Amino acid sequence: MVEPATLPPQIRGEWYPMTWEEFLEWSPDEGQSEWVDGEGIAYASNCTLHGRRVGFLVELLQLYVRVFQLGEVFFDNILLRLPTRPSGRMPDIFVIGRDRLDQVHHQWADGPALFAAEFLSEDSVERDLIEKRAEFERAGIREYPVVDARPGRRDFVYLRLDAAGTYQEVAPDEQGRYHSEVLPGFWLDPNWFWQDPLPNPLTVLCRISPEAWQRLVEEVERDS
C-alpha cells in the first residue's frame, strides 16, 4: 500500500516543495499562504490597521459589485489560481466577473480576475510590486491597485493593462480620483485609506454613485 505523503510543518516564511493538491491540504486556516512553482509558503498575519483598510475596501466593493451585478468579491485568504506561472496567490481582494463565476471552486478561484488589490506590509513590498505585478500582468488581470499600508506611508499606484497586455500606471483625475474601467462608474480616492477613522463605506458609496445608493435602498426595502 502506498503511504500518503507527509506534509511539512507550517513554519511562517519558509517555502516547501509540494503539489497543488498537497498545498490545499497544508495551507493554514489563518494568515496568508501562497503556492508558486510547486512550492508553498505561509506568511505572518497582518496588523489591525492593515485589516481595517482591507475591510473598508472589501465592504465598499461588495456593495458596488452586488448592486450592479458585476460579479463577486473575494477576500479573507481565498486563493486565485494563475496557470500562467503556475501559482496560487492570495490577493488581499479580487473580483471575479459574472461571466467567470463558474470558475469559482471550494478553496480557490481560477484566474484571471477582473480586478485585484494589494495593501503593502513590511514583508510584502517586493512580492506585491514586482513578483505579483509580473504574474498578474501575464495572467491578464486587467486592473491592479496597490495601497501602501505601512505605518507612515501614503503611496498609491493604480495599474491597468494596455492594448499590448502591459501594465501602465493610471493617472488620477483633477480631483485625485482613480477611475476603473472594468467596474464601470467605480472610482477610488487614495485619501480614504489615510483617514482616521476610516470613512463609512455607505457614505462613500453614495458619493461614488447615487444610483448605486438608490439601488441599495430599494434592495433593503424589498427585503424588509
Q: Where are the domains of the chain?
A: 1-45, 47-223
Q: Report d(CA 27, CA 79) in Å as an integer.
A: 10
Strand order in the sheet with 39-42: 16-17, 39-42, 33-36, 87-89, 79-82, 108-110
Angle between helices 48-67 and 201-208 (to 10 degrees): 40
List the chain pLDDT tens, one digit each, 224 residues.
Answer: 334 457 777 776 789 999 999 999 998 776 688 999 999 998 866 678 888 999 999 999 999 999 999 999 999 789 999 998 899 999 999 999 999 999 999 999 999 999 999 999 888 899 999 999 999 999 999 999 999 988 888 999 999 999 999 999 999 999 999 999 999 999 999 999 999 999 999 999 999 999 998 998 888 888 87
Which region holds residue 68: left if phi is over 0, alpha if psi is between -120 and 50, else beta?
alpha
Cell numbers describing residue 134 = 509580473
- CATH fold of 47-223 reads tt1808, chain A (3.90.1570)
Global pTM exceeds 0.85: yes
